[in-house]
Amino acid sequence: MKIAAVQMVSGMSCKANLEVAKDLIHQAASHGAELVVLPEYFCILGANDTDKLAVKEDFGRGPIQEMLSKSASQHKIWIVGGTLPLRVQSEPNRAYNTCLVYDPLGKCVAQYNKIHLFKFKKGQEQYDESKTLVAGDSPVVFDVLSKDGNSWRIGLSICYDLRFPELYRALSDMGADLMLVPSAFTYTTGAAHWEVLLRARAIENQVWVLAAAQGGEHENLRRTWGQSMIINPWGDVVSKLPTGAGCVMQDINKNEMLSVRVDLPVLEHRTL
Phi then psi for 66, rounded to 5 degrees? -65, -45
Q: Which of 14, 43, 99, 159 is catalytic?
A: 159
Q: Are 58 and 26 in contact (CB under 8 A)?
A: no
**pLDDT for 124:** 83
Beta partners for 112? 99
The whole model's pTM is what? Answer: 0.97
How far is the CA of 17 from the CAs of 8, 13, 126, 238, in angstroms? Answer: 9, 6, 24, 28
Q: Give catalytic status of residue 40 as yes or no.
A: yes
Catalytic residue among 2, 52, 56, 114: 114
Is 217 noted as a catalytic residue in this protein? no
Per residue in 92-106, pLDDT (tens digit) is 999 999 999 999 999
The residues of the chain scoring below 70 in pLDDT are none
The phi and psi torsions of 224 (rounded to 5 degrees) equal -110, 160
Q: Where are the alpha helices (DSSP H) in the chain?
A: 14-30, 63-75, 165-173, 187-205, 254-263
Which three-class secondary structure state does DSSP give residue 129?
Answer: helix
Q: Give the number of C-alpha atoms closer than 13 A to the C-alpha of residue 12, restricted to the C-beta side.
A: 11
Measured distance CA(68)–CA(118) in Å, rounded = 25
**Parallel, antiparallel or unpaired: strands 223-225 and 215-217:** antiparallel
Give the DSSP letter string of 167-202.
HHHHHHHTT-SEEE--B--BHHHHHHHHHHHHHHHH
Task: Give the model's pLDDT for residue 17.
Answer: 98
The per-residue pLDDT for 169 is 98
Which listed residue (40, 43, 57, 129) is catalytic?
40
Query: Within a 10 A sphere around the Cβ of 71, how many other Cβ atoms?
Result: 23
Give the residue among 5, 3, 2 at the shortest CA–CA distance from 245: 5
Q: Is 159 a catalytic residue?
A: yes
Q: 2-269 architecture in CATH?
A: 4-Layer Sandwich (3.60)
How far is residue 45's CA from residue 254's CA, in Å, rounded to a whole number? 36
> CB–CB of 213/159 below 8 Å?
no
CB 231 within 8 A of CB 208: yes
Q: Which residue ranges make up each domain of the chain? A: 2-269
Cβ 10 vs Cβ 41: under 8 Å: yes
